[in-house]
Amino acid sequence: MKTALAVKDLGHRYGGRTVLDAISFSVQEGEFFIIIGPNGSGKTTLVRTISGTLEPLRGQIFILDRPIRSYSGKALARSVAVVSQTPPSDIPFMVSDVVLMGRSPHMSLLAIEKPKDVDLTERAMAFTNVQHLAGRRFDQLSAGERQRVLIARAICQQTRIIVLDEPTAPLDLAHQINVMDLLERLRKEEKITVVMVSHDLNLAATYADRLLLLKDGGVVSLGKPDEVLTFQTLEKAYGCVLLVDENPVKKVPRVTLVPHALLTNNSL
């Protein structure tokens, strides 16, 4: 299998503070790869370097075995699609137009969208189940609908890799499962590599092939969910007491938060 993404000795600083430090890992094509870690551990910065938005101060990134710097902006946009954490709230376009914009990296400056592009837009909207919203304005949608529209836009970009920064954070339970199932289908049916950041350890354990646990900009653990999600590792990374047992519906770890009050009462 080919390597979709390889990161070698990545380092970055913001104003004297180290946010990424000697990070190395690689993601195989068709893998579901989830980056976890506490707030401020460098997850978003890492995602921004992978998506080419931020140039790291140190280290190298390879996308489909080619250095990221050798890609033009458009060529990179044909290989990696990104769903960022906070889209602007005042996007005036209609849903269909937003999804159709995903075609722009495939078009020259003067080109006009062709029937094929409209076709792909329709299919992407059907895939994420937003066809019924096609004529609505993007800024009038709910958070869950917006997220699905932006994922449709990313699908429309027809890339080998999709990078998502906390796509499930603003969503309720049903929408979280919807989005995760959608990404899983995308990986299975289209063999697209999914790299995402998540705060939800249980969701991550359920869907990921492999996890990357970051803390203070460094790698704490990298591997299959049952290797990474042990209470020793997690307590080290998050600095709080956690209970890890087995998820009753799928043989992956399940993480439960333990309130301080229960600890001091010695009831465990």
Partner 1 sequence: MKAAASYAYPILKRMLAVSFLLCLLLIISAFLGLAMGSTAQDIRQILSVLSGHADQYPTLSNIVWQIRLPRVVLAALSGATLSLGGLVFQALLRNPLAEPYILGISGGSAVGAIIGILLGLSPFPGVAFFAFAGSMATLLLVLLIASTKTALRKDTLILAGVMVNAFCSSVIMFLISLTQDSRLHNILFWLMGDLSLSDAHRTLMLMVALLPCFTLLFLLARPMNILLMGEEMAANMGVNVRLIPLLLLAVTSLMVSIVVCHTGLLGFVGLVMPHLFRLLFGPDHRLLVPACIFGGGAYLILCDLLARSLPSQGEMPVGVITAMIGAPLFILLLRGVRR
Question: Does 57 sit near partner 1 (CB under 8 A)?
Answer: no
Instruction: Report the site for partner 1 in 171-190 (rule: CB under 8 A).
Output: none
By CB under 8 A, which span of 18-26, 67-75, 189-197, 224-232 interacts with partner 1? 67-75
CB of 73 to partner 1, least distance (A): 5
By CB under 8 A, which span of 12-20, 107-115, 204-212, 253-261 interacts with partner 1? 107-115
Site string for partner 1, 18-37 (x = CB under 8 A): --------------------
By CB under 8 A, which span of 2-10, 26-34, 82-90, 211-219 interacts with partner 1? 82-90
Give the DSSP per-residue string, the chain. Answer: --EEEEEEEEEEEETTEEEEEEEEEEEETT-EEEEE-STTSSHHHHHHHHTTSS--SEEEEEETTEEGGGS-HHHHHHHEEEE-S---TT--SBHHHHHHHTTGGGS-TT----HHHHHHHHHHHHHTT-GGGTTSBGGGS-HHHHHHHHHHHHHHT--SEEEEESTTTT--HHHHHHHHHHHHHHHHHH--EEEEE-S-HHHHHHH-SEEEEEETTEEEEEESHHHH--HHHHHHHH-S-EEEEE-SSSSSEEEEE--HHHHHTT--
CB of 77 to partner 1, least distance (A): 3
Question: Does 93 sit near partner 1 (CB under 8 A)?
Answer: yes
CB of 157 to partner 1, least distance (A): 7
Question: Does 131 sit near partner 1 (CB under 8 A)?
Answer: no
Interface residues with partner 1 (CB under 8 A) are 51-53, 72-78, 80-82, 84, 87-88, 90-94, 96-98, 100-102, 104-105, 107, 109-110, 112-113, 118, 121, 134-135, 157
